[in-house]
Amino acid sequence: MATVSTSPPPRPTDPSRDAPPRAKQNGSPPVVTGAAAGKPTLAGRTRRRLLGAVPALVLAALVLGAWQLAAETHALPSYFVPAPAEVLAAFQRSVASGLLLGYAGWTLAESFTGFALGALIALPLGYAIARSRSLARLLEPYLAASQALPAVALAPLLALWLPYGLPPVAVLCALIVFFPAVVSTALGLRTLDRDVLDAARVEGANRWQLLWHMEAPLALPAILAGLRTSLTLSITGAVVGEFVTGNQGLGGLLVIARSNCDTPLVFATLLMLALLAMALYGLARFAEHQLSYIEKE
């Protein structure tokens, strides 16, 4: 016996109710950008960076305040450690007279030359070490042993072997920046996903295409981090070389100020060195943000 259904018949559905909204015919759909899309705006990033610098500024203010208080109460002899106000006054005088800027320019020239020389050798060597186990076994012990040789001991030898002036200091800078760049390059290439590289080889990519389109972009963050460290260390290499080679650069100015017992000028020169290192670090950090594929904060 057939049963009769007592449920009401289904209602006809309106396709326009469940369909996603369509764009207007006379224009493209609105594009959501900025904070509405969940991405921080330029003002938001700037505000976050300024707030992030507050702890460092507070620490610097506390250290300078304690230093100034110790100088005013004569807890520290002024001929050993001058007051911050005296250091700032010596810094302003030296900058206004062009003394610090002239010596700093020579140090920067040595630093950039040594960094470029060291990077040109370190990057290809780091790639070769990462791709050849035999070469890695051959060279890595000597690369590690080279870091046990103090730069102060190498500087007099380089001054004897090379012409006077820029060459020995630039080579010393290159030796100092060389090791971090090699290690970071080799590490960045060794930690790449092998499956991705094998898939590219299956698609027909040769060695140079693989390097240019896959390996270099993927390893770029590690390589740039190593170069950032090397660029900052190049200032140290330049100053060490200037201690030995003569009275050029900020290292030479330190020797002159020390021989004249001009302690405020010594501290002012150290302040200039710190500012140069910070500027180079910031420059490298900016380049790293521009070149790396990592999302910029």
4-27: per-residue pLDDT in tens? 444 455 555 554 444 444 444 444
Q: Which of 233, 252, 246, 226 is nearest to 172 (CA)?
A: 233
pLDDT at 78 over 80: no
Domain coordinates in residue numbering, the chain? 44-76, 79-291
The whole-chain average pLDDT of the chain stands at 81
What pTM does this model have?
0.75
pLDDT digits (tens, 9 = 90+) for 49-63: 777 778 888 888 898
pLDDT digits (tens, 9 = 90+) for 244-257: 876 689 999 999 99
pLDDT digits (tens, 9 = 90+) for 98-154: 999 999 999 999 999 999 999 999 999 999 999 888 999 999 888 888 888 888 888
pLDDT digits (tens, 9 = 90+) for 85-99: 899 999 999 999 999
74: left (phi over 0), alpha (psi -120 to 50) or beta: left
**CATH number at 79-291:** 1.10.3720.10
Q: Which two tokens stand for residue 24?
A: 């207007």
Burial class (CB in 10 A: 0-12, 13-18, 19+), 89: middle
Burial class (CB in 10 A: 0-12, 13-18, 19+), 30: exposed
